[in-house]
Amino acid sequence: MINELEKDIDRILFSEDDIRKMVQKVAAQINEDYAGRKPLLVVLLKGSVIFAADLMRALVIDCEIDFMKVSSYSGTHSTGVINIVSDLRTDIAGRHVIIVEDIIDTGSTLFKLKGLLESRHPASLKICTLLDKPSGRKADVSGDYIGGTVGNEFIVGYGLDFDEKYRNLPYIGVMRNS
């Protein structure tokens, strides 16, 4: 059966194997940096959930997970307005925290989120992103752990969506007419 979502994909940017290698690269860095510590992975919903699940399976260190749901996109564009829809349940004071993001684009969401989490006094705060899109950056924020870099194209798949569609594609593809 042909995936009905694939008709909207211009080309595959990262295959399943490419993504697996990016996840392994990032996990190896985190395993090294956090050996002997127990970081809290703060997963940003919804887009990061698939990456976070694969990342956790690749980690050999003890870690915990919590979730936040933040919103700033409508369709293919950031609205510039950041909404925290669901906050953490874990107290992060004194904890080593790693924000897990699917893609850093404008950086506006992460900039605000990083400031909010820093005000809660974690022992350390790092950002782990599957993908970085520096051409879209509007805020002064960058990833500490980056799987790969993308150009100025609208991409979907592996958790990344367009109006809640395409998250379930096993690869990352460029949308037609993006």
Supply the residues annotated as catalytic: 105
At residue 108, what are phi and psi to the nearest 5 degrees? -60, -45
b/e code 49-70 from CB counts within 10 Å (16+ = b): bbbbebbbebbeeebebebbeb
What are the strands, taking DSSP E only, across the chain?
Answer: 9-14, 40-45, 64-74, 77-86, 96-104, 124-132, 145-149, 155-156, 172-175
Distances, alpha carbon 71 to alpha carbons 15, 55, 80, 116, 152, in Å = 27, 22, 10, 15, 20
Q: In whole angstroms, what is the distance from residue 146 CA to residue 62 CA?
A: 21
